[in-house]
Chain A
Amino acid sequence: MFLFKKPNDKVPTVKVDYDMSFKLQKLGFIPYSRDNDYVYFKKTETLVSVLYKLEKKKGQ
């Protein structure tokens, strides 16, 4: 399920671009919302650590 909905304050989210979104979805994360530029995922510790590792790998 995918919501066309801007997330509010009650739902902390992390916004990523579409390439990163596809990678995260391949890893099993489910997107919460999206707009033209970004995809929003619910912010969790696991997601943040995975993002950190992916960004680090991307930087190398």
Chain B
Amino acid sequence: MQTKTFSLGDLSKIISLTDTDNDSVDFFYGEMDFLASGWNGQDCYISEETLMECADTVKGKFVTFKIQNFTQDFKSHEKDLQLMGYIDPSAEVHYRRLDDGRLMASVECVLSKIYCFDAFKIFHEEAYKSVSAEFSCNSHFNEDGKEIIDAFCIHSITVLGDGIRPAIENANIQIYKFSAEKMNEIYHIGKKNSLDEFAEEELNKGEDMAKKKLEEDVIMSESEVLAECSDVEEVKTESEEVEMGCDGDKLSDEIQLSEEEVETEDKKETEEKELSEDSEDKKDEQEEEPEQKEMSDDEKDDDEEDSDDKDDEDEEKDEPKKFSLNAYVDEAFLMEMLEKETEDNKAFVDRIIKEENLGDLISKALSMKKELDTFREEKRLAEVHQCEKKFAECMGEVKLTLDEDVYTKLFEEGKEIKDMESLNAFISKVKVCAYDSIKAKAEVNHEDNDVFVFAQNSMSNASFKKDDDVFNRIKNK
């Protein structure tokens, strides 16, 4: 029989793994989605009615597990499963509809920290694990040979390790403590954290301050308005006093007369202005006529557009925009602003160059560039030198085989070449010429003896035939 031992050291570890003093050393809590309606991984069907009737059998039952020592993870259904915790008999089974249409049953569970500390550690690493229910059931087979579960009685919920597929898709256990969302829910339902209370107080204080300030502003504005009103009233009273000092009829007559005079003067001025404008207009009539026509056309167009109303608004949007004088003013202002920005940026860059020693970096980059250029020049010169050398070698090889005219022609052509690619092409050309000339000479020297002499133009077959003795031939030479 397997025995479970624990030491006081476990308690200190448990306490070290808990975050607040409110946590119990004995328990940790979780929620399990343990069973769902519909078809499962064993090709068995559980109807929603069966689920809702029998899911309550989970109450008061156990949560089981077994740990694989090698991987430190949960295993699966084993014959020697350990108890991790239980489902409270007073717990409520909740049902919720999943996205795929199934009805999922879920229930809260209570788990032990001390007596399954290894499991607690695993949950501390990962708060979400798959689960599988173990139950006895009554079932029948339908016409298609599929098994339909009529009733069941749950014995335990087994926590599965990673990589083990649960028969019910998405059946899982989630530990509250290690789930941020659930933890918030729990802590807001239960005791409030002192930090939360402090934050709330601060928020309330801030709101009160803001309200007070607003009220003060309102009071200030009211007092200002009242002060202005009092000034106005003073002015009114002064004017009334002045009016009261004069005779009412005389004053009104005088005012009327003065008004008439002002009107007549205004009329004269407007007439004079009109006359002067007419004279000027007559001069400019011929110039303004087409403009007026255009204006009249535009007005007509405007009228037509007004009549078209909303349908033409989209067309107007498509037309190019006409800039007004204000737009140009804005543009000038914008240009000024941009210039100012560029100056600021320039100053900023100068400052950075000074502060970050970018000047040194730039000078270093420039020196490296110069060095690179010198290297490139050296490489080019080396290539030219190599070309010349190769050209000389090639021409030396073919000098004896080519005629003088051809040779000089080729030499003149080749001495201008400075790159290897075109030199290689030239060399192949020279070799072809050399081969042709050798072949031609061989044909000239060819006689009926069917001996083909290649590159031995200095020794004729005739001389070879005349004297077979090699010593004599050398002597004759």
- A10 to B: closest C-beta gap in Å: 6
Counting CB contacts under 8 A, is A5 at the interface?
yes
Check if B35 sits within 8 Å of A1, measured CB to CB. yes
A21 CB contacts on chain B under 8 angstroms? 76-77
**A4→B134 CA distance, assembly (Å):** 7
Question: Which of A3, A18, A39 sits near B135, CB closer than 8 Å?
Answer: A3
**A11→B148 CA distance, assembly (Å):** 12
B171 CB contacts on chain A under 8 angstroms? 1
Counting CB contacts under 8 A, is A47 at the interface?
no
Which has the most chain A C-beta neighbours within 10 Å: B40, B41, B76, B135?
A: B76
Residues of chain A in range 1-42 having any CB-CB distance to chain B below 8 Å: 1-5, 10-11, 18, 21-22, 25-26, 28, 30-32, 34, 36-37, 39, 42
Check if B78 sits within 8 Å of A18, measured CB to CB. yes
- Show the binding face of A for B, using Cβ within 8 Å: 1-5, 10-11, 18, 21-22, 25-26, 28, 30-32, 34, 36-37, 39, 42
Check if A2 sits within 8 Å of B136, measured CB to CB. no
Counting CB contacts under 8 A, is B42 at the interface?
yes
Q: How large is the interface on B (under 10, 10 to 19, 20 to 34, 35 or more residues)?
A: 20 to 34
Question: In this complex, what residue of B is CB-closest to A4?
Answer: B136
Instruction: Known contacts A3-B135, A30-B41; decide if A25 and B164 are in contact (CB<8 Å).
Output: yes
Mask: chain B, 49-84; 1 = CB below 8 Å from A; 0 = not:
000000000000000000000000001111100000
Question: Which of A3, A18, A25, A28 sits near B136, CB closer than 8 Å?
Answer: A3
B158 CB contacts on chain A under 8 angstroms? 2
Check if A25 sits within 8 Å of B133, measured CB to CB. no
Check if A22 sits within 8 Å of B145, measured CB to CB. no
Check if B42 sits within 8 Å of A30, measured CB to CB. yes
B132 CB contacts on chain A under 8 angstroms? 1-2
